[in-house]
């Protein structure tokens, strides 16, 4: 009963560091949404009036970024909540789920770009004389988009890694995919303008290359998110580092049976340790508590640790 009351109280208050973390995530995400909205409008106008199908597709990609910005704001707010009676290990996997949704959105963007660019490339190849090369305004818009989205990617990724927010890092890669999309549009527009009607097919062809880059970014995000949702263990090097951290206490012998998984920005660890069989329960508990404290000091307050204490029996 007391545990339930404590969890409810904890959910209502929240820690100051969680509030500060959430505010920084909101700030970087809202700033990105504002940039995405401005770029989408500008690229759409430049693509329509500048006769660039690649830029119109690029504008659609920027619009999809707005949806992922909204997903980050929603799920990160939920994931910052502490454990409660329905979520004993906290809400960290809401961030993982947001990352997975962003990767699926990117796969959708890649498919749409692939379909649209393929149709337009085939049409331009069959009748290049009828194709109208893009105007200079499309070239300028693509160049501005490349610079803006690359800067936004670098800032968002740095903040996401600093805050240990996988959904923010995933959103940064969505910004990078938009920058790559704009690079493809820029190359296609430049090539079409340089070669004239005979090179008009380069504009939609660039869209095909962009679609492949976006799909690669989606896979880069989806693979670890799916692994976490399916309870994949931490990398072997990370598990070795955890065992070394556990063994820093000289009273601990033979840490073993290590089990790990990631929960959003935190981790869950279960490990068995052997100690002197003559130690009191109080002393054994203090050793186990020391292991938990060291893990939280390294991985943050949402590191969950279960330490099983066993008697050490020397080999006879």
Q: Which of 56-65, 159-168, 244-253 has the lowest mean pLDDT?
A: 56-65
pLDDT tops 50 at residue 7: no
In this model, does residue 42 exceed pLDDT 50? yes
Looking up residue 137, the CATH number of its domain turns out to be: 1.20.1510.10
Is 107 within the bounds of a domain? yes
Number of compact structural domains in the chain: 2
Residue 186 within a domain: yes
Judge if 198 and 267 occupy the same domain: no
pLDDT of 3 strictly over 50: no
CA distance 58 to 189: 12
User: pLDDT at residue 177 above 90?
Assistant: no
pLDDT at 242: 92
18 found inside a domain: yes
Please indicate, yes or no, whether residues 40 and 149 belong to a single structural domain of this protein: yes
- Per-residue pLDDT at 155 exceeds 90: yes
The yes-or-no verdict on residue 169 having pLDDT over 60 is yes
Instruction: Compute the half-sphere exposure of residue 238: CA atoms within 13 Å on the CB side of its CA.
Output: 14
Which structural domain range is residue 257 located in?
A: 236-311
Residues 144 and 54 in one domain: yes
Q: For 124-152, what is each residue's pLDDT tens digit? A: 666 655 556 677 888 888 889 889 989 99
Higher pLDDT, 139 or 6: 139
Q: Which comes out higher in pLDDT, residue 103 or 273?
A: 273
Q: Tell me: do 76 and 53 sit in the same domain.
A: yes
DSSP letter string over 142-171? HHHHHHHHHHHHHHHHHHHHHTT-HHHHHH
Supply the pTM of this predicted model.
0.61
The predicted-structure confidence for 98-134, as pLDDT tens digits, reads as follows 778 878 887 887 887 788 777 777 776 666 555 566 7
In a domain, 12, yes or no: yes
**Residue 20: its pLDDT value, please?**
79
Give me the pLDDT at residue 283, please.
92
Same domain, 195 and 272: no
Domain endpoint, select from 177, 203, 229: 229
**Segment 14-18 mean pLDDT:** 60
Residues 6+ apart with CB under 8 A from 86: none
Q: Are residues 165 and 206 in the same domain?
A: yes
Let me know whether 77 and 221 are in one domain. Answer: yes
- One domain, residues 108 and 244: no
Same-domain check for residues 250 and 169: no
Mean per-residue pLDDT of the chain: 79
Query: Last residue of some domain: 182, 214, 229?
Result: 229
200 and 184 together in one domain: yes
Q: Are residues 25 and 173 in the same domain?
A: yes
Query: Stretch 77-103: mean pLDDT, rounded?
Result: 73
More confidently predicted of 116 and 277: 277
Task: Please indicate, yes or no, if residue 273 is contained in any of the structural domains.
Answer: yes
- On whether residue 316 sits in a domain, the answer given is no
Considering the chain, what percentage of its residues have pLDDT values greater than 70? 81
Domain-located, residue 163 = yes
Decide which of 229, 259, 290 is a domain's last residue: 229
Which range is least confidently modeled, 208-212, 232-236, 258-262? 208-212
pLDDT tens figures, 259-268: 998 887 678 8
Higher pLDDT, 30 or 204: 30
| Residue 290 belongs to some domain of the structure | yes
For residue 304, give the CATH number of its domain: 3.30.70.1350
Residues 75 and 53 in one domain: yes
């Amino acid at each position: 009963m007391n545990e339930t009351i404590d969890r409810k109280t904890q959910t209502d208050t929240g820690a100051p560091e969680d509030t500060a973390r959430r505010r920084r995530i909101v700030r970087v995400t809202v700033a990105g949404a504002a940039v995405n909205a401005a770029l989408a409008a500008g690229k759409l106008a430049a693509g329509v009036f500048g006769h660039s199908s690649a830029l119109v597709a690029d504008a659609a990609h920027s619009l999809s970024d707005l949806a992922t910005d909204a997903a980050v704001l929603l799920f990160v707010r939920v994931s910052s909540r502490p454990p409660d009676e329905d979520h004993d290990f906290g809400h960290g996997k809401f961030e993982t789920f947001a990352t997975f949704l962003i990767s699926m959105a990117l796969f959708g963007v890649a498919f749409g770009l692939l379909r649209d660019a393929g149709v337009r490339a085939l049409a331009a190849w069959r009748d290049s004389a009828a194709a109208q090369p893009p105007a200079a305004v499309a070239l300028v818009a693509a160049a501005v988009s490349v610079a803006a989205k690359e800067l936004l990617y670098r800032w968002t990724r740095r903040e996401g890694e600093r805050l240990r927010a996988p959904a923010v890092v995933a959103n940064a890669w969505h910004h990078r995919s938009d920058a790559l999309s704009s690079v493809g549009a820029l190359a296609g527009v430049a090539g079409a303008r340089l070669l004239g009607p005979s090179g008009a097919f380069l504009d939609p062809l660039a869209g095909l290359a962009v679609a492949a880059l976006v799909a690669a970014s989606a896979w880069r995000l989806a693979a670890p998110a799916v692994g976490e949702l399916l309870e994949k263990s931490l990398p072997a090097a990370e598990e070795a580092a955890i065992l070394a951290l556990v063994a820093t206490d000289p009273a601990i012998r033979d840490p073993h049976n290590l089990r790990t998984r990631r929960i959003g920005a935190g981790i869950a660890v279960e490990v068995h340790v052997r100690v002197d069989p003559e130690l009191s329960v109080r002393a054994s508990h203090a050793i186990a508590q020391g292991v938990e404290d060291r893990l939280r000091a390294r991985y943050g307050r949402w590191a969950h640790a279960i330490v099983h204490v066993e008697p050490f029996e020397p080999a006879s």
